[in-house]
Structure 1
Amino acid sequence: MTTILLADDHGLIRGGIRMILQSEDDFEIVGEAADGAEAVDLARSLRPDLVLMDVQMPGLDGLEATRQIVAAGDCAVLILTTFNREDYLFQALQAGASGFLLKNSPPEDLISAVRVVARGDSLLAPELTRRLFDQFMARPAASQRPDLLNLLTEREEQILRLMANGDSNAEIAVKLFVGDATVKTHVSRVLNKLGLRDRVQAVVYAYETGVVSPGDNPP
């Protein structure tokens, strides 16, 4: 059973999301919050598997609430917002969100996203990677290679580049002519060596540190 906390300042929206998710036998809504501060408090007390978090809420917004929840290690956060804005996407991922979904997505996409994040994976579709790419277009290249990158083997850095390109494990396996299990092992090692939580953080890290740059074509 996946336990879920809903955080949105509109009761009708919470009700609609609740109806969609409660139609699944393996989901349980354990609480609802009308603002970011309440979401932080309920995440701490209820310890759900994940929070479905709106961005724009009165008082403490969803981005800051996400930072606090993730920093405390209370649960994973899936951002669910009306606003199709690249700055929200980037700030949400920097805050530690494990995924980002628009409210006009089909119900089946919401259900799938909850399952993906709940099992500890990240929701980073290719179109989201494209937006991250656009965020870095105007940024200067990193001037110095971080020491942590030197911990990676050549193959592990190659895996990091492909993750930053938005490739799934299966796609990476095809490109490198290896098995899915081998890719999964390499991905885990990359995350552990760099102290990253998931693939989303890996992509942000790759762009911020200059491992990949706008215009690169990963091997």
Structure 2
Amino acid sequence: MPRPRRIGIVEDDAHLRRYLNDVVDADPRLEVAFTEGDMAGALRRIETLAVDLWLIDLQLPDGNGADLVPRLKARGKAKCLILTVLGDRTSVIAALDSGADGYLLKDTDPKALVEGILSALDGYAPISPQAAHFLLDLYQQGTRQARQRPEDSVLTTREQEVLRLFSRGLSYREAAGVLEISPHTVRDYVKAIYRKLSVHSRSEAIFEARQLGIISSVE
């Protein structure tokens, strides 16, 4: 019999974390590798434990879970499946654009959740119906083509460099090191980027910049 697939759970709500732990462990094909309540804890696990799939909440106390995805992808071949209460268009598209392998809502029943995890592990992309609606809408409207943007939203060369580094999974400190500036200066650039693009997270900024043609979709 093949070994159970190892699942890492990143969820800040303790009750839901225990529930997810029980759902995963109840299936003999799966086992919980660890549970963490924030991004920092998840990042510490990268170097210490082998994981086949990360089950990630978006609303974590120290950031947007979608920002974890490119960093996790850069470190290995594990799948990343978003599990969240957020079913709005911006959250769905930004998470999938970050490289997530699927997007499920937290009201997904236990059986469907396990099926979604196994589906992602097999190379498919499980998507909750509400999230799939936005993808269909994007396809029908052709909104993935670059749009015209007002002059006041144009990013400076350095702001674009910061976004490119973020899209490759670098942290504030890592980006500062590459650009040979302080992390504080990076944060100032990020504030300007958020203001110009009317966004509130790194993943949203990357998504919006790609849609506007500011950075390439392959970066």
Letter matched to residue 70 of structure 1: K
The CA distance in 1 between the partners of 2:46 and 2:9, in whole Å, is: 10
**Superposition deviation, residue 127 in structure 1:** 5.1
Aligned position for 1:37: 40
Within the candidate set 104, 109, 112, 1:101 is matched to: 104
Q: Contact (CA 8 Å) 2:56, 2:82: kept in 1 or not? A: yes
Aligned position for 1:113: 116
Q: Contact (CA 8 Å) 2:69, 2:98: kept in 1 or not? A: yes
SS in 1 for 2:73: helix
Q: Could you tell me the TM-score, scaled by structure 2's length?
A: 0.60
Within the candidate set 6, 9, 13, 1:6 is matched to: 9
Within the candidate set 57, 62, 65, 1:59 is matched to: 62
Query: Residues 92 and 141 from structure 1, CA distance in 2 versus in 1: closer, same or farther, beyond 3 angstroms?
Result: closer
Q: Can you give the 5+ residue segments of structure 2 that lack an aligned partner in the other structure?
A: 148-206, 212-219
Letter matched to residue 133 of structure 2: R
The CA distance in 2 between the partners of 1:106 and 1:91, in whole Å, is: 24
1:82-139 deviation line (CA, Å, top 9, x unaligned): 1211111111111111000001011111010010111222224665343123357484
The CA distance in 2 between the partners of 1:115 and 1:46, in whole Å, is: 20
The CA distance in 1 between the partners of 2:41 and 2:117, in whole Å, is: 21
Aligned position for 1:48: 51
Identity of aligned residues (%): 25
Q: Establish whether residue 28 from structure 1 lines up as the match of residue 31 from structure 2.
A: yes
SS in 1 for 2:123: coil
The CA distance in 2 between the partners of 1:119 and 1:5, in whole Å, is: 17
The CA distance in 2 between the partners of 1:33 and 1:14, in whole Å, is: 8
The CA distance in 2 between the partners of 1:16 and 1:76, in whole Å, is: 21
Query: Residues 15 and 140 from structure 1, CA distance in 2 versus in 1: closer, same or farther, beyond 3 angstroms?
Result: closer
**Superposition deviation, residue 23 in structure 1:** 1.0
Aligned length: 146
**Superposition deviation, residue 54 in structure 1:** 0.2
The CA distance in 2 between the partners of 1:43 and 1:26, in whole Å, is: 22
Q: Can you give the 5+ residue segments of structure 1 that lack an aligned partner in the other structure?
A: 144-203, 209-219
**Superposition deviation, residue 73 in structure 1:** 2.5
Note the aligned Cα RMSD (angstroms): 2.6
Letter matched to residue 108 of structure 2: S
